[in-house]
């Protein structure tokens, strides 16, 4: 059973503990700029939305990579960037319709959520349960993939 992150924006208080936990897990520092999950703040609506890679089954970032630096972790199903192979061309950042693959200027490589090897730090850090790690079929992953497919059709029509 593939698992994925399930985000309930209604429970998010914008405490950004997920960002801090992610940055510490991935870089050893408490620096939200190094986090692979971001909390979008919509001040006028008083809404907060954590957002990260949806681990698409048919990942555009992976298909676009010219050096095959994005591989599937067999245990988690996460699309993981192999830093040793990545050349920092940023093609995957353009291919991702959700904007969740990011270029790291300090390393010259890209980074994205890798589900922390199956124990996502953001889930453990979230005090309100806004982020959970559950069966992918229960998360809306299929809705995200359907939206991505529509975007692909639109991109081809424009070409």
Cα–Cα distance measured from residue 154 to residue 159, given in angstroms and rounded to the nearest whole number = 9
Residue 135 belongs to domain spanning: 1-52+115-142
Residue 38, in any domain of the structure: yes
Would you give per-residue pLDDT tens digits along the chain (159 residues)? 678 899 999 999 999 999 999 999 999 999 999 999 999 999 888 889 999 999 988 999 999 999 999 999 999 999 999 999 999 999 999 999 999 999 999 899 999 999 999 999 999 999 999 999 998 666 566 666 666 676 554 444 444
Q: Please, what's the b/e burial string for 56-77 (b: 16 or more CB within 10 A of its CB; e: otherwise)?
A: bbebbbbebbeeebbeeeeebb
| Residue 54 and residue 4 in contact, taking contact as beta carbons nearer than 8 Å | yes
> What CATH number does residue 5 fall under?
3.30.70.20
Q: Which residue has the tokens 């090897």?
A: 117
Residue 36 carries which DSSP code? S
Backbone phi and psi for residue 68, each to the nearest 5 degrees, phi listed first: 55, 45
Q: Are residues 125 and 107 in the same domain?
A: no
Is residue 93 in a domain? yes
Task: Give the model's pLDDT for residue 155.
Answer: 47
Q: How many domains does one find in the chain? A: 2
């Amino acid at each position: 059973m593939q698992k994925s992150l399930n985000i309930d924006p209604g429970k998010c208080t914008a405490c950004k503990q997920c960002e801090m936990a992610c940055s510490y897990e991935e870089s050893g520092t408490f620096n939200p700029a190094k986090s692979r999950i971001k909390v979008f703040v919509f001040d006028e609506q008083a809404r907060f939305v954590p957002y990260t890679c949806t681990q698409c089954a048919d990942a555009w970032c992976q298909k676009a990579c010219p050096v095959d630096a994005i591989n599937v972790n067999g245990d988690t199903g996460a699309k993981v960037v192999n830093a040793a192979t990545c050349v920092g061309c940023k093609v995957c950042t353009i291919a991702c319709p959700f904007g969740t693959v990011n270029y790291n200027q300090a390393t010259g490589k890209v980074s994205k959520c890798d589900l922390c090897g199956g124990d996502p730090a953001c889930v453990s850090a979230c005090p309100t349960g806004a982020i959970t790690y559950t069966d992918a079929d229960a998360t809306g992953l299929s809705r995200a993939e359907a939206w991505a497919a529509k975007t692909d059709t639109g991109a081809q029509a424009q070409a």
